Amino acid sequence: MKIVIENVIKKFIDAKKNEVTALNDINFSINEEEFVVLVGPSGCGKSTLLNIVGGLLSPTSGDVYFDGIEQDPTLGIVFQENALFPWRTVFQNVVYGLEERGASKKEQKEIGNHYLDMVGLADFRDAYPKQLSGGMKQRAGIARALAVEPDLLLMDEPFSALDAQTRTLMQEELLTIWNRTRLSTLYVTHNIQEAVYLADRVIVLSRHPGQIKQIIHIDLPKTKRNSEEHIQQFNRYSEEIWELIRHDAQKALKE
Amino acid sequence: MEKSIEQTSQKTNRKVIKNRVAYLDKQVPFYTPFVGILGLLLLWELIAQLGFVSPLFLPAPSVIITTGWEMLTNGEIISNLSASLYRILMGYALGSVFGILVGLILGFFRTADAIGTPIVYSIYPIPKIALLPLFILWLGIGELSKVTIIALGVFFPVVINTFSGVKNVDPLLVKAAVTFGSSRFNVIRKVILPGALPMIFAGLKLAAGTSLLLLVSAEMIAAQEGLGSMVLHYGNLMIISKLMVGVLILSLLGLTFNKVLKWLEGKLIPWQ
C-alpha cells in the first residue's frame, strides 16, 4: 500500500480577485510505515497540502489516492488547535472515530483505554478538554487519531502551540508511540529540527508558488538521533534544509 | 491574599505594602442577600401597620400572607395556578422544541437559511400579543389559542439564538468529526447541537420571561381561570390583598422557572 499525491495544483482567488497558485504540481508518495515530513516557510502551502490529502479541501486539479488497498482508507488527523470536542470527556473524544464506525461499546472501551494508556492519559479519561494542559490536549488528539487505526496518520503542526520544553518531550513521546504503531504518516511542521528528528523523508517546500524544492532521505536510525553519536549528521541535515528554506523564509518575513 | 514587603533596614520607618485590590476577592457572609429583602418587608410592614398608607391601597405583608394562606386552603390558588401552569408549560415546550429544530435546520442548511431566515425575521418584530384576537378567531377562545400565542412568543428568541449558535460552532470541529467518519446527520447531532447548546440556553432563558408576560396578558384578555385573570378580577373589585397574592405567585413562578433552567443548564452543559 502507498499513498500517492499526483500532479496536485491548488489555486485560490485572493481578496483582490487575483488568482494565486498556492500549490504547483506536487508529486510524491508515502510508503507503508513511512514517516514523511513536509517542511517549509510560512505561506508555502504545507497545511493546504495536508488538508487536501486529508479530504478537507479539494485540489484545483490533480489527485490523491491510496494504491493497493481494498476497503475505503481510514484517516486519522491531529489538528494544530487539537479540535477536541469540548462537550466530550477525554475518553469520549478518543473513541469518537470508533463510535462513528459502529464499534461496540466493549470494543470502544478496550481500544480507547489502550490508546489512553499509550499517550499517558489514563488518569484523565473522565476530564473535559478544558481541564487539560496544552500538552495533554494534544496527547488526547493523538490518541483519538490513533484509535481508528488509520491507514494514514496526518499531523498538522501538532506541537507548534506548545512551549519548547513540552514540545521536546512530546516529540520523544511521539517517536516512541510511532515505533509501536508504525503508521504511514504525513507530518507538517515549520521546525527543521523537528523534521530531522522525526522523518524518514523530509519534503522541503518553497513558496510563491508552493512547490517541492527537494526531497531528503534522513539516513539515521529512528531513535536517539540527537545523541552524541549522530549529532553531527543530524546537524548537517538541519543545515542542509535551512539553506534550502532560508531565502524563502527571509522573503516571507518582509511581507 | 495579603502581600507585604517590609523595609527591614530601618525599623522605625517601616512601611508595609498591602494588597490594594483585596476588595476584588472580598467574601460576603451567606446571610447578606436575605438582609435586604427582610429589611424591605419590615419597612413595608411598619408603614402599613402605622397607618401611613390606607390598607385599601397597600396591605401589609402579613395581611397578604394570611390572605394567601386562605386562598391556598380554599383551593382558589391551586385551580388558577394549575390552569396557568398547563398553558405556560405546553406553550413553552412546543415553542422551544420547534424553535430548536427550526434553528438547527436554518443554521445548517444554506438553502433553508436563504428561504426561511427572511420569513423568521419579518414575523419576529410583531408583538405577539397583537395576534391573540386573530388566534381566537382561528382557534377558538379555548386553551389552544393561548397555548399557541405563548408557543409563538417562545419560538422566535429560541430560533434566533439556536441559529446564531449553529453559525458560531467552530468549523474545525466539524472537520474533525467528518475526518473521523461522521455522517451529516451525526455532525448535526454530535457537533452542531452540543456546540450550539450554550446559545440555545441563552434563548431559552430569554423566552422564559416572554412566556410569562404572554401568559398573563392572554389570561387578562381571554380567560375565566388563571393567574392573569385572577389578578385582573381582584383589581376590578379593588381587593388589593388578593391581587397582591396573585402577583406574589407570579413572581415565585418566574423565580422557579429560572432556577429550573439554571439547573438544567448545569446538567446539560457540564463541560463549561
Residue B194 sits at the chain A interface (C-beta within 8 Å): yes
Report in angstroms the alpha-carbon separations of B20 from B5, B28, B75, B152.
13, 18, 58, 52
Domains of chain B are 11-56 (no CATH), 75-268 (1.10.3720.10)
Residues of A in contact with B175 (CB under 8 A): 56, 79, 83
Averaged pLDDT, A138-163 = 90
Measured in angstroms, the CA of B200 and the nearest CA of chain A are apart by 15
- Residues A187-218 have pLDDT tens digits of 999 888 899 989 999 999 888 888 888 898 88
Q: Report the C-alpha gap between B181 and A97 in whole angstroms.
A: 6
Q: Report the C-alpha gap between A25 and A12 in whole angstroms.
A: 15
Among partner residues B179, B183, B197, which is closest to A54 by beta-carbon distance? B179
Among partner residues A79, A87, A100, which is closest to B181 by beta-carbon distance? A100
Using DSSP's 3-state secondary structure scheme, residue A2 falls into strand
Which residue out of A74, A96, A98, A142 would a mutagenesis test of the B interface target, given it has the greatest number of B Cβ atoms within 10 Å?
A: A96
8 A C-beta contact, residue A203 and residue A36: yes
Count other C-beta atoms under 10 Å from residue A120's C-beta.
14
User: A residues 57-96 near B, CB within 8 Å?
Assistant: 74-77, 79, 81, 83, 85-88, 96
CATH number, span A2-73+151-253? 3.40.50.300
Q: Report the C-alpha gap between A29 and A152 in whole angstroms.
A: 12
Inspect the interface and report whether the beta carbons of B179 and A101 lie closer than 8 Å.
no
- Per DSSP, the residues of B64-130 read HHHHHHHHHHTTHHHHHHHHHHHHHHHHHHHHHHHHHHHHHHHHH-HHHHHHHHHHHHHHTTS-GGG
8 A C-beta contact, residue A140 and residue A64: no
- Residues B86-110 have pLDDT tens digits of 999 999 999 999 999 999 999 999 9
Residue B3: what pLDDT?
Answer: 46
- Residues B133-186 have pLDDT tens digits of 999 999 988 889 999 999 999 999 999 999 999 999 999 999 999 999 899 999
Which grid cell is A225? 538521533
Average pLDDT score, chain B: 90
Cβ-based contacts under 8 A for chains A and B = 54
Residue B1: what pLDDT?
Answer: 45
Q: Report the C-alpha gap between B227 and B85 in whole angstroms.
A: 9
Residues of A in contact with B174 (CB under 8 A): none
Inspect the interface and report whether the beta carbons of A100 and B186 lie closer than 8 Å.
yes
Using DSSP's 3-state secondary structure scheme, residue A80 falls into coil
Among partner residues B172, B182, B197, which is closest to A81 by beta-carbon distance? B172
Residue B2: what pLDDT?
Answer: 44
Which residue out of B179, B193, B265, B267 would a mutagenesis test of the A interface target, given it has the greatest number of A Cβ atoms within 10 Å?
A: B179
Among partner residues B178, B180, B271, which is closest to A87 by beta-carbon distance? B271
- For chain A, percent helix, then strand, then coil, each to nearest 5? 40, 25, 35
Residue B177 sits at the chain A interface (C-beta within 8 Å): yes
Of B168, B261, B151, nearest in space to B214 by CA: B151
Among partner residues B172, B180, B191, which is closest to A97 by beta-carbon distance? B180
8 A C-beta contact, residue B132 and residue B221: yes
Which grid cell is A215? 526531497
- Residues A71-85 have pLDDT tens digits of 888 899 999 888 999
Inspect the interface and report whether the beta carbons of A77 and B197 lie closer than 8 Å.
no
pLDDT of B7 > 50? The answer is no
